[in-house]
């Protein structure tokens, strides 16, 4: 009354491969023509909710962070282009040592704290 079960095709079916909470890949069979199982986005309405905060590790690739880096890049490029357009030999703007003007805190003779080199 015992026969060998033919589980070969079932075992050979493509697996889901989603990363689970314990760090391993999901071992459930993937749906037909899909790379994910029924629990990990294979069917409509399954998988992580939109804007899932549980999946965020460091926020480097959130849309806000990407937009911020894009903005900073644009500003830096514009500033670089502006500096290139300045005529050669014009007085330097950013280096107070070469221009001869010392930046001081208004009303005092001391430079602002962020310009002093008091590194310990
Ligand atoms: Zn899965």
More confident position, 80 or 42: 80
CA-derived radius of gyration, the chain: 30
Cα(19) to centroid(ligand 1), Å: 8
**For residue 85, how many other CB atoms are within 10 A of its CB?**
7
Query: In the numeric block, which tokens belong to residue 90?
Result: 């014009």
**Per-residue pLDDT at 21:** 87
pLDDT digits (tens, 9 = 90+) for 41-78: 888 888 877 777 777 888 898 889 999 999 999 999 99
Give yes or no for a contact between 80 and 94, defined as CB atoms under 8 angstroms apart: no
Inter-residue contact 83 to 95 (CB < 8 Å): no
- 18-37 average pLDDT score: 92
CA distance 117 to 111: 10
9 CA to centre of ligand 1 in angstroms: 18
Q: Which residues have CB atoms below 5 A from the ion given as ligand 1?
A: 16, 18, 26, 28, 37, 40
Name the pTM for this structure.
Answer: 0.40
């Amino acid at each position: 009354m015992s026969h060998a079960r033919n589980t070969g095709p079932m075992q050979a079916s493509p697996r889901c491969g989603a990363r689970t909470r314990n760090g391993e890949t999901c071992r459930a069979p993937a749906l037909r023509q899909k790379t994910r199982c029924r629990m990990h986005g294979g069917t409509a309405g399954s998988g992580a909710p939109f804007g899932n905060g549980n999946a965020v590790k460091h926020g480097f690739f959130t849309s806000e962070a990407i937009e911020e880096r894009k903005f900073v890049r644009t500003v830096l490029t514009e500033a670089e282009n502006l500096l290139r357009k300045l005529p050669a030999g014009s007085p330097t703007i950013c280096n107070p040592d070469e221009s001869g003007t010392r930046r001081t805190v208004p009303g005092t003779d001391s430079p602002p704290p962020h310009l002093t080199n008091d590194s310990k």
